[in-house]
Amino acid sequence: MRRIRGTRSLSVDGERSVLLKAGDAVQIRLEIQTPRFLPLPYIVLKEHLHRHNGDAWVFQESIIPRMQRNSTLAYQTPPLERGRYSFEDTECYSEDIFGWMKHKSSFMAGGEFRILPRTIFIPHWQLQSRNSRLAGTETAVSMSRRETTQINGVRDYVYGDRISRIHWNATAKTGTWKSKEFEHESLPKTFLVLDGHSIGYMKPEQFELAVSTAASLLEFGARQRINMGLCTLGKDFRGFAPSEGHLERLEMLHHLVDIHADGYGSHIPKLEKARMLQSPGAFFILISPLSDENLFSILRWAKSHHMTPYHIHIAASTTGSTRKSLVKSMLHERGIRGISVSSLSELPAALGGGVQ
User: Does some domain include residue 300?
Assistant: yes
pLDDT of residue 53: 87
**What residues contact 184, with CB distance under 8 A and at least 6 apart?**
145, 146, 147, 148, 225
165 pLDDT tier (thresholds 50, 70, 90): confident
Q: What percent of the chain has pLDDT over 90?
A: 43
User: Does some domain include residue 121?
Assistant: no
pLDDT of residue 356: 38
Same domain assignment for residues 65 and 191: no
Total structural domains in the chain?
3
Same domain assignment for residues 315 and 223: yes
Same domain assignment for residues 227 and 336: yes
Alpha-carbon dihedral sign for residues 10, 14, 16, 19: negative
User: Does some domain include residue 214?
Assistant: yes
Q: What CATH number corresponds to the domain at position 312?
A: 3.40.50.410
**What residues contact 141, with CB distance under 8 A and at least 6 apart?**
none
pLDDT per position as a tens digit, 79-106: 999 999 999 998 888 876 666 777 788 8
Q: What is the mean pLDDT of residues 304-326?
A: 85
The answer to pTM > 0.85 is no
Identify which of 217, 208, 272, 202 has the alpha carbon closest to the alpha carbon of residue 239.
272
> Residue 25: which domain range?
5-116
Give the whole-angstrom CA distance, residue 14 versus residue 30: 14
Q: Are 123 and 160 in contact (CB under 8 A)?
A: yes
pLDDT of 230 strictly over 90: yes
Same domain assignment for residues 139 and 111: no
